[in-house]
Amino acid sequence: MPESILTATDLQRSYILSEATVPALRGVSLSLDEGSFTAIMGPSGCGKSTLLQLCGAMDKPDSGSLRLAGDEISKLTDEELTLLRRTKIGFVFQFFNLLPTLTIQENIAMPLLLARQSEKIAFDRARHLASQLGIEHRLGHYPNQISGGEAQRAALARAIIHEPVLLIADEPTGSLDSVNGGKVLELFQSLNQDLGISILMATHDAHVAQAAKVTIHMKDGKVVL
């Protein structure tokens, strides 16, 4: 039996907007096994991104329990949360979030450099991943000099360079055409199957969700059957 890499129990999260309390999550529970590839589907505003932010230790729930790789996230200090994100979690976003003043190689290597790895080790690892993802010829370029598909592959390389146990992807194909989107999904499947990286991906596109092994549907801040 595979062990759970992430377990969420009765997560509640609300935000204050114009002095009104707006609930984003209304008691969400889920469990992800090691090596799983899970898609979260639902319309805009259903709570997908909020759930990913909590699972990625970028935010804390108002109540409920969230355990990632044995750590209870809500009990960690800000410093411990930062270390957790740097060592165990990778992030891929819709709009890539590459730093425009850094080369592609520097962008990919950034998580290792922040972790105080030597520049040689970080750049060698970046070069290796870029070669695997077919963008080695772009390492000396800047983000505005490459295509959207190449930028997303660079973002993916940056997300896994520190060998995370969980990869979180929020609408990772939302800014790509169907061809490049399909290539990114193939890369996700390869990372999941060949490297055993657990993936949690949010999407509103049923075709994109088909790349995952399991699909969870959300509506109005809840998981629905």
pLDDT tens per residue, range 47-86: 999 999 999 999 989 999 999 988 898 888 989 998 899 8
User: Is pLDDT above 80 for 2?
Assistant: no
Q: How far apart are CA 67 and CA 193, in angstroms?
A: 23
Contact 12, 39 (CB under 8 A): no
User: Is pLDDT above 80 for 225?
Assistant: no
The answer to which of 12-21, 103-112, 208-217 has the lowest mean pLDDT is 12-21
Give me the pLDDT at residue 69, please.
85
Give me the pLDDT at residue 115, please.
87
User: Is pLDDT above 80 for 1?
Assistant: no
Residue environment code for 148-180, b if the CB has 16+ CB neighbours within 10 A, otherwise e: ebbbbbbbbbbbbbbebbbbbbbbbbbbbeeeb
**What tokens appear for 123 in the block?**
């750049």
Give me the pLDDT at residue 95, please.
82
pTM for the model stands at 0.91
Q: What is the dihedral of CA 92, 188, 74, 222, to 10 degrees?
A: 100
pLDDT tens per residue, range 183-208 = 889 989 998 998 889 999 999 899 99
pLDDT tens per residue, range 92-136 = 988 888 999 999 999 999 999 988 899 999 999 999 999 988 899
DSSP lists the bridge partners of residue 8 as 30, 66
Name which of 54, 45, 41 is nearest 12 in CA terms: 54
Q: What percent of the chain has pLDDT over 70?
A: 99
Domain ranges for the chain: 4-224
Q: How far apart are CA 96 and CA 181, in angstroms?
A: 13
Q: Tell me what the pLDDT averaged over the chain comes to.
A: 92
Q: What is the dihedral of CA 79, 80, 86, 87, to 10 degrees?
A: 150
Q: Which fold has domain 4-224?
A: Rossmann fold (3.40.50)
